[in-house]
Structure 1
Amino acid sequence: MSGRDRLIYLPLGGAGEIGMNAYVYGYGKPGKERLILVDIGIAFPDMASTPGVDIILADISWLSERLDQLEAVFITHGHEDHVGGIGHLYPQLQKPVHARKFTANLARRKLQEKGQDPSVVETAAPYPAMIEAGPFKVGFLPVSHSIPESNALVIDTPGGRIIHTGDFKIDRTPVVGEPFDDALWAEAAKPGIRALVCDSTNVFSKHPGRSEAEVAPNLKPLVAAAKGMFVATTFASNVARLQSLAIAGEAAGRSICLMGRAMRRMTEAAREEGILTDFPKTISPEDAANVPRESLMLIVTGSQGERRAASAQLSRGKYFGMELKEGDTFLFSSKTIPGNEKEVAHIMNNLSEMGVDVVTDDDGLYHVSGHANRPDLETVHAITDPQIVIPMHGEHRHLREHAKVADALGRVGVVVPNGTMLELSGNAPKVVDHVEIGRVYLDGSALVGQFDGVVRDRIRMALNGHVVVAVMVDDDNQILEDTWVDIRGLPEVVRGSAPLAEMMEEHLAGKLARVDTRTAGDDEKLEDLIVKGIRKVAQDEIGKRPEVTVLITRLAAE
């Protein structure tokens, strides 16, 4: 391919959804661009659409097929939907990874857990320092968010400067981590911004964003007034909130215990990198068991209802020897992410049945968002004054609304969903290609493709049940009697007393008695006949079309 050099943007994840962020930038001749990848995150499954799946990752096959064009990977911050895929997908990337020190610490841990070399992660200094990667120069521009050391990226290319915001909010008093620095952002914008690729999560929130510093004063009286044990859950990565909670507990004379692997990992990393310097002393779960209830505060994982996290386990009974009782208080210092409402409500109801007082953030007292609301987005548009605004990190409705906001401010807003390649060269952005993308599922310890059929079959079995049929055929292609049927996920008895499996066996016996030797000798034809017979009985009796597995045993002549 030939032609002029071009600047491209291609989201592989995170544009049209909240989570699983992975964005490609490229510069060079069409089809031969040098590439960089920004973020490599994960999303979390649900039982309705991805039963049994552990995590969901972006399909980066388009990128791995062009590995010789990839220069480097840049990670904006340490949230799972931005860095969580590094351990699983690094074997497909095999390029240097750049991140600020706290995020680099987390990325190295993830690589080590998967047996990868952690030294591939290089620690970056903040902007105005720049890292060269082929035709790109990339700087980490500090920004406030709900995890320390979050960054936008300043991406210099021969086709112009791009600012990729990552996740951000305008918080000038973030408690832990770096505040939003208006002057530094204005300095970054001075050369002129070709495109602002911008967080869209809270575009529908029209009130100004609130600072993390507003939460701490509300927490202290709440904890002080509690009579029994006090338990709080929040995002494990929200180190500032963990500190505010712990300080409130300490002020109330309570011993502080952190429960949950992710929470301990985050605080360890923050201490190692000098981000947490005055976190109150904590005790182990073993020691916590010996502390009087009225003198104990647990800070636990599971604010989104995760079944195996500490919050869910406490709501079901004991966890590390700790048990909630009537008169205890449980605080959700978090916002429920859309899609998790049912799981969170289940935990709350379990706690209520125990007599535990459940406190939520319905009044906006105990949580603030880590994402920019519409007024903050408009402020960043004004500071950077970009030619083009490309909304990202949001569902399609968020992207579309954000593009409208940009248009109303006199800029070009472009909706670019996952798999859409946008050229940023020339007088106006234009779509130049569509890339086939999908999902990759971590299912136990195996990575399976979205279209491999594993999850599809699991859903079908969950919806319709499963029937196994065993049939024997002799060497003369005569079907032997006593075909065996076993059912799973279907009612055993129908019409009050008739066993469903026996009804299927009787129906098959009649059908198979009339089968000619040609059909009996052809596995495919015989299986098709049996499947149709089983499904007819199931449809007639219970209105279901189950999944059917046919086991054909052929007896060889002695």
Structure 2
Amino acid sequence: MAGKERLIYLALGGAGEIGMNMYVYGYGPKDAERLILVDVGVTFPDMETTPGVDLIMADPAWVQARADRLEGIFITHAHEDHVGGLGMLWSRLGAPVYARRFTAAIAQNKMDRAGQPASEVRQVDAWPHMVEAGPFRVGFVPVSHSIPESSSLVIETPAGRILHSADFKTDPTPVVGDPFDADIFRAIGDQGVKVMTCDSTNVFSQHPGRSEATLTEPIRALMREAEGMVVATTFASNVARLRTLAEAGHAAGRQIVVLGRAMNTMLKTARATEVLDGFPPTVDVTEADSVPRSQLLVLATGSQGERRAASAQLASGKYMGLELRRGDTFLFSSKTIPGNEISVGRIMNALSEKGVRIVDDADGRYHVSGHANRPDLAVMQDLLRPSVIVPMHGEHRHLTTHAEYAESRGYVGVVAPNGAMLDLTGPVPKFAEKVETGRVYLDGTEIIGALDGVVRERIRMAIRGHVIVSILIDEGGKPIGGAWVETVGLPEVARLRDGLAGALEDDIGRELARARKADFDDDDAIEQIVARTVSRRCNDLIGKKPVCTVMISRLEA
């Protein structure tokens, strides 16, 4: 086997969850393959499992250890779950980055904000142009999605052709961006496709996907009928939806205010890269108070309930001089991502308390998905006619259902979740090896590992509370003045004369008085005595065993 060349596929993120996309393709001798990386995305934290964390990314350690073999990084489109981690992780990878014009502009901004060289992002033309990257030739095939200039990737290798679908939908009229062109994909299929790695997000949706253009009339009717100010929120990156909303508001005689940094950045980039033209004129938020409320449409960030975004700020009170009132309308022109229901519900309840009319997408009139539904997956399968289909971009249940669906239609379906390396060289993929995968967190300004213990300790303190104990030891090795205790996140106990902290100080003092002299020469021994005492006493008094931090100060002779 030594020296025999093979073609491999490995998902480090995105095949086991929706988000955090990072995929590796390799070709060459075993353990010496030349590599390319597709997408460097993020996913978002929650207070239950990752409190305080800002962003979550796939751990690039496997690629980082082989960075000298990495030929390039290819970004399929500018959604955060595909490009959001680029600036933060590029220094670990060090390879040139390739993307189409709009995506490249967003990627360069990510690099620049992270202090990395934006010049490493190379703008490339769409299909049939190909990028040479070691043994690979990679082409960006235009495809419709909910952001401009999304691309599937044709990856040509000495062992055969791969079609990496990325996120796509079969929309011939996407309003902004590239329409789905069946002829292009049919021609690619005619030339032969060995493996298609394919989006699985909407595999459970049984009806064909709807076009973005079908939203125009329902949204225009809503804008005409609304009496007060209208606020509409959607994904900041959905430039087509922003255009549909703005044009509907403009047609109803409303002036447009765009509220939120992310949304303004996307619109600015779309104009600069010439994927958006004819967007209705906007007014600055500082001028909005001069516009009658019935003539105002506010496009706001925060469709997923983000606490610091414009929608949440407007729901909680006045923001940037704007305030929602009874009779106003708030439109959620978006789908709530699973896991965000509570945060979105919180905003809706706050709006309801203000007497604001809430319109969501419960009946499907004001939002369409950017991902292929099950019938649309069938369209792509039959255009490309791949030998093998490997589902990606989905939770495990999405991957298995997609593989079963492919099998039911006569294709070979293979499930390869994160860490399952496939050898694609032969006619049927083989499991090659298991790679340890994980996550890294952006925590403030630092990137930490999921197993570093930082978040785990934070969760422990949140659940159990925290006791800090300070002890001073004299030159002779004896404690001075007993222990000093402070509690954080623990209830007070009314029946105790000196409170919980006082009771702990008394108990610790008694235990230290009984300790051996040798114990006072060993900080670890003192910490164990104190921690045991705190755990036992707190459990007796309040039914909790808090995290205990012991600070020992010694006077020098």
TM-score interval for Structure 1 and Structure 2 normalised by the shorter chain: over 0.9
- How far is the alpha carbon of 1:318 from its aligned partner? 1.4
- Cα deviations across residues 315-359 of structure 1 (Å, max 9, x unaligned)? 111111111111110000000000000000000000000111110
- How far is the alpha carbon of 1:495 from its aligned partner? 4.2
- How far is the alpha carbon of 1:510 from its aligned partner? 1.2
- Which range moves more in the overlay, 410-419 or 139-148? 410-419
Q: Distance in 2 between matches of 1:472 and 1:105?
A: 58
- Which range moves more in the overlay, 148-157 or 118-127? 118-127
SS in 2 for 1:551: strand
- How far is the alpha carbon of 1:378 from its aligned partner? 1.2
Q: Distance in 2 between matches of 1:97 and 1:556?
A: 57
Matched, 1:162 2:167: no
Which residue of structure 2 lines up, in the alignment, with residue 436 of structure 1?
A: 436
Matched, 1:452 2:424: no
Which residue of structure 1 lines up, in the alignment, with residue 534 of structure 2?
A: 534
The one-letter code of the counterpart of 1:465 is G
- How far is the alpha carbon of 1:498 from its aligned partner? 6.1
Which residue of structure 2 lines up, in the alignment, with residue 239 of structure 1?
A: 239
Which residue of structure 1 lines up, in the alignment, with residue 152 of structure 2?
A: 152
Matched, 1:130 2:166: no
The one-letter code of the counterpart of 2:550 is V
The one-letter code of the counterpart of 2:337 is I
Q: For residues 188 and 538 of structure 1, do their structure 2 counterparts lie closer, same or farther at Cα, with a shift above 3 Å needed?
A: same
SS in 2 for 1:193: coil
Say if 2:74 and 2:97, in contact at 8 Å, map to a contact too.
yes
SS in 2 for 1:283: coil
Which residue of structure 2 lines up, in the alignment, with residue 415 of structure 1?
A: 415
1:47-196 paired onto structure 2 within 5 Å: 47-196=47-196
Aligned structure 1 segments of 4 or more residues deviating by more than 6 angstroms: none
- How far is the alpha carbon of 1:475 from its aligned partner? 2.4
1:314-463 paired onto structure 2 within 5 Å: 314-463=314-463
- How far is the alpha carbon of 1:555 from its aligned partner? 1.6
- How far is the alpha carbon of 1:481 from its aligned partner? 3.2
- Which range moves more in the overlay, 439-448 or 112-121? 112-121
The one-letter code of the counterpart of 1:169 is K
- Which range moves more in the overlay, 165-174 or 471-480? 471-480
Q: Distance in 2 between matches of 1:160 and 1:421?
A: 17
TM-score, normalised with respect to structure 1:
0.98
The one-letter code of the counterpart of 1:293 is R
- How far is the alpha carbon of 1:191 from its aligned partner? 2.0
The one-letter code of the counterpart of 2:361 is D
1:258-277 paired onto structure 2 within 5 Å: 258-277=258-277
Say if 2:169 and 2:376, in contact at 8 Å, map to a contact too.
yes
Say if 1:494 and 1:541, in contact at 8 Å, map to a contact too.
no
- Cα deviations across residues 5-50 of structure 1 (Å, max 9, x unaligned)? 0000011110100001000000000000000000001111111111
Which residue of structure 2 lines up, in the alignment, with residue 544 of structure 1?
A: 544
Q: Distance in 2 between matches of 1:15 and 1:103?
A: 22
Say if 1:18 and 1:201, in contact at 8 Å, map to a contact too.
yes
- How far is the alpha carbon of 1:108 from its aligned partner? 0.8
Q: Distance in 1 between matches of 2:189 and 2:99?
A: 21
Q: Distance in 1 between matches of 2:257 and 2:115?
A: 30
The one-letter code of the counterpart of 1:161 is R
Q: Distance in 2 between matches of 1:287 and 1:481?
A: 64
- How far is the alpha carbon of 1:479 from its aligned partner? 2.3
SS in 1 for 2:153: strand
- Cα deviations across residues 155-198 of structure 1 (Å, max 9, x unaligned)? 00011100000001110111111111000001111221111100
Q: Distance in 2 between matches of 1:418 and 1:541?
A: 46
Say if 1:164 and 1:198, in contact at 8 Å, map to a contact too.
yes
SS in 1 for 2:194: strand
- How far is the alpha carbon of 1:503 from its aligned partner? 1.2
Which residue of structure 2 lines up, in the alignment, with residue 43 of structure 1?
A: 43
- How far is the alpha carbon of 1:482 from its aligned partner? 2.4
Say if 1:127 and 1:139, in contact at 8 Å, map to a contact too.
yes
Count of residue pairs the alignment pairs up = 557
Unaligned segments of structure 2, at least 5 residues: none
Which residue of structure 2 lines up, in the alignment, with residue 219 of structure 1?
A: 219
TM-score, normalised with respect to structure 2:
0.99
The one-letter code of the counterpart of 1:259 is L
SS in 1 for 2:290: coil
Q: Distance in 2 between matches of 1:192 and 1:337?
A: 36
- Cα deviations across residues 115-162 of structure 1 (Å, max 9, x unaligned)? 222111111111111111000000001111000111100000011100
The one-letter code of the counterpart of 1:322 is L
- Cα deviations across residues 80-137 of structure 1 (Å, max 9, x unaligned)? 0001111111111221111111101111111111222211111111111111100000
SS in 1 for 2:271: helix
SS in 1 for 2:505: helix
Q: Distance in 2 between matches of 1:126 and 1:494?
A: 71
- How far is the alpha carbon of 1:382 from its aligned partner? 1.2
Say if 2:496 and 2:503, in contact at 8 Å, map to a contact too.
no
Q: Distance in 2 between matches of 1:482 and 1:338?
A: 52
Which residue of structure 2 lines up, in the alignment, with residue 201 of structure 1?
A: 201
Q: Distance in 1 between matches of 2:33 and 2:395?
A: 28
1:482-497 paired onto structure 2 within 5 Å: 482-495=482-495
Which residue of structure 2 lines up, in the alignment, with residue 20 of structure 1?
A: 20
Q: Distance in 2 between matches of 1:344 and 1:513?
A: 55
Which residue of structure 2 lines up, in the alignment, with residue 480 of structure 1?
A: 480
RMSD value, Cα: 1.1
- How far is the alpha carbon of 1:480 from its aligned partner? 2.6
- How far is the alpha carbon of 1:275 from its aligned partner? 1.1
The one-letter code of the counterpart of 1:134 is G
Q: Distance in 1 between matches of 2:214 and 2:494?
A: 61
Q: Distance in 2 between matches of 1:507 and 1:48?
A: 34
Say if 1:198 and 1:391, in contact at 8 Å, map to a contact too.
yes
Unaligned segments of structure 1, at least 5 residues: none
Say if 1:333 and 1:361, in contact at 8 Å, map to a contact too.
yes
Which residue of structure 1 lines up, in the alignment, with residue 294 of structure 2?
A: 294
- Which range moves more in the overlay, 28-37 or 485-494? 485-494
